[in-house]
Amino acid sequence: MSRVLTKIGTDSTGDPAVWIWIILKDASLPRAWSFESREKLRQWAKQTVRSAGIEDLTYVSFRTESEQQELERSPA
């Protein structure tokens, strides 16, 4: 894992939600993309949100460093 990005807001149904993007190092692929690895990271992220006392829906997504860099370079 390289870093974690978060956003808090409301989802498409109007419910409060937390979005978490786990940025994976390109060099860690394909091992980091295994179902087991992603599920462990997903559960860690959701547990971290819950332990902070936040009960909102939590959406967890994964990106590689190169995908994130491309998004950051793209105009909004």
Mean pLDDT, 10 residues at a time, the chain of 76 residues: 93 96 84 84 95 94 93 84
User: What is the Rg, in whole angstroms, of the alpha carbon atoms belonging to the chain?
Assistant: 13
As for how many domains the chain has, the answer is 1
Task: Indicate the SS3 state at residue 31.
Answer: helix
At 43, the amino acid letter reads Q
76 within some domain: no
CA 49 – CA 72 distance, rounded (Å): 25
Domain range spanning residue 17?
3-68
pLDDT for 76: 64
- Is residue 45 included in any domain, yes or no? yes
Residue 25 lies in a domain: yes
In a domain, 74, yes or no: no
Q: What is the pTM of this model?
A: 0.83
